[in-house]
Amino acid sequence: MNIGIMSMQRVENYGSFLQAYGLKKEIEKLGHSVQFVDYQVESSIVLSQNKHKTGFSDSRFCKAIHMLSPNYRQWRKKQMKMNYTFQDFINAYNEQYLSELNVKKEYNVTPELDALVIGSDEVFNCTQSGSRVGFSKQLFGKDNKAKKLISYAASFGSTTYEKLKQYHIDQEVADLLLQFDSISVRDENSKEIIEKLCNISPQCHIDPVLLYDFPEVDDISVSLKNYIVVYAYADRIKGEEAEAIRRFAEQENKKILSLGFYQPFCDEYILASPLEVLAYIKHADYIITDTFHGTVFSIKYQKKFGTIIRDSNRQKLGDLMHRFDVANQQITNLENISKILYCNMKENGLNKILLQEKKSALDYLKSSLVF
């Protein structure tokens, strides 16, 4: 059968790539041919909150004085380094990595398909401020030309039922969701939204990174030893958090490695391919992250890890970590970082949970893609 996947495959992000790659591989293992389908970006329904502030502090004189200060020059140097490394990643993603998904430069919109699978990732997150996607109805299945429409581990992300009501799109979203032949979501928030909107209870399934085994990673050699991986967006871990990580690394005599995104406090930065990221994670002694997929990678390889919890990530990371019984790996107090990182994941029954979740996910895909 000819199956299409509509996901966040063009978003320059390791997690977005790897979940798309994993889902493609799993569907191909079921005997289907797979192509990625693009969606139309639409305007955001949420006004950007980044309003320009005016006042004396923004005057040209104050800016000029500020630019002469040593602190500004140091900050500017760090910003330029982060910008250069991020641009390197963007270039590599679009010129090299996308070809591994067989995603072409030309957009593939509304092809004829036997089935369209929407997901995984935050494909239903339609109330983000400053979103590059906006409220794209195609991510909810509109105008598709498939004989069957399903979702797999789709997420509303930071969108809530209350926000859908607030922006008066709850009924439109409900009508679109009711056109699906079967719905699978990634988290409890998404499940609750669909239950309230559509009066149906969708199944909840794991991210494709946890579903697919990635045997390709076994063929990637990692020469580094005795290292800690920091997996986070640029400049998000700093100040006391960075200091706490450095103290732990010195205590353990480990090098700190940042992957994909430059972190000034780390010993080494590596621009790795998505599959190389998994290899570095797999062979690391410890993982420290504050992202959803950084946590997923750590769970996948049952690493000693800690996830820094903030208000911005508390909902989706809390849901994921409770589901896999690793809530104790949440870093909410920097004084506990050593105790958290010493915990051995291979001793807490994590493998049993993973096997159960994999079986449930595969059963869903098999039954949903039967014609």
Q: Can you give the residue ranges of every domain in the chain?
A: 2-47+102-211, 215-351
Res. 52: pLDDT tops 50: no
- In the chain, what is the straight-line distance between the N-terminal and C-terminal CA atoms, in Å? 9
Q: Which residue has the higher pLDDT, 228 or 65?
A: 228
Res. 54: pLDDT tops 50: no
pLDDT for position 349: 85
Residue 149 confidence class, pLDDT cut points 50, 70, 90: very high
Res. 81: pLDDT tops 60: no
Instruction: State the average pLDDT for the chain.
Output: 90
pLDDT for position 221: 93
Domains 2-47+102-211 and 215-351 share a fold: yes
**Neighbouring C-beta atoms of residue 228, cutoff 10 Å:** 24
Mean pLDDT score, 238-244: 95
CB neighbours of 69 closer than 8 A, spacing ≥ 6? none
**Neighbouring C-beta atoms of residue 47, cutoff 10 Å:** 9
Contact (Cβ atoms closer than 8 angstroms) between residue 12 and residue 19: no
Res. 46: pLDDT tops 90: no
Mean pLDDT score, 69-77: 50
What distance in Å separates the CA atoms of residue 4 and residue 119, rounded to the nearest whole number?
Answer: 11
Residue 93 confidence class, pLDDT cut points 50, 70, 90: confident
Query: Nearest to residue 109, comparing CAs of 62, 155, 143?
Result: 143
- Per CATH, domain 2-47+102-211 is 1.10.10: no
Please state which architecture CATH assigns to domain 215-351: 3-Layer(aba) Sandwich (3.40)
Q: How many CA atoms lie within 13 A of 323 on its CB side?
A: 21
Res. 53: pLDDT tops 70: no
pLDDT for position 356: 97
The token pair at 96 is 């090299």
Q: Which residue has the higher pLDDT, 225 or 130?
A: 225
Res. 316: pLDDT tops 80: yes
CA distances, 93 to each of 81, 100, 329 (Å) = 18, 10, 31
Contact (Cβ atoms closer than 8 angstroms) between residue 152 and residue 39: no
Query: Nearest to residue 297, comparing CAs of 255, 329, 339?
Result: 329
SS3 of residue 133 by DSSP: coil
Res. 23: pLDDT tops 90: yes
Res. 250: pLDDT tops 70: yes
What distance in Å separates the CA atoms of residue 316 and residue 281, rounded to the nearest whole number?
Answer: 21
Q: Pairing relation of β-strands 330-331 and 255-259?
A: unpaired
Contact (Cβ atoms closer than 8 angstroms) between residue 174 and residue 207: no
What distance in Å separates the CA atoms of residue 288 and residue 156, rounded to the nearest whole number?
Answer: 25
- Beta partners for residue 228, in sequence order: 256, 286
Res. 56: pLDDT tops 50: no
Alpha helix segments (H runs only) across the chain? 14-29, 60-67, 70-92, 98-100, 161-166, 170-177, 188-198, 208-211, 240-252, 274-283, 292-300, 314-323, 337-341, 350-368
Q: Which of 45-49, 67-71, 255-259, 306-310 has the lowest mean pLDDT?
A: 67-71
Contact (Cβ atoms closer than 8 angstroms) between residue 284 and residue 229: yes
SS3 of residue 74 by DSSP: helix
Give the DSSP letter of residue 51: P
pLDDT for position 57: 41
Give the DSSP letter of residue 182: B
Q: Of all helices (H) and strands (E), which one includes residue 146?
A: strand 145-151
Q: Which residue has the higher pLDDT, 365 or 315?
A: 365
Mean pLDDT score, 158-182: 97
Q: Which residue has the higher pLDDT, 366 or 72?
A: 366
- Nearest-Å Rg of the Cα atoms of the chain is 21
- Vertex 28, ends 23 and 34: CA angle to 5°? 80
pLDDT for position 69: 53
Q: Which of 53-67, 264-278, 295-309 has the lowest mean pLDDT?
A: 53-67
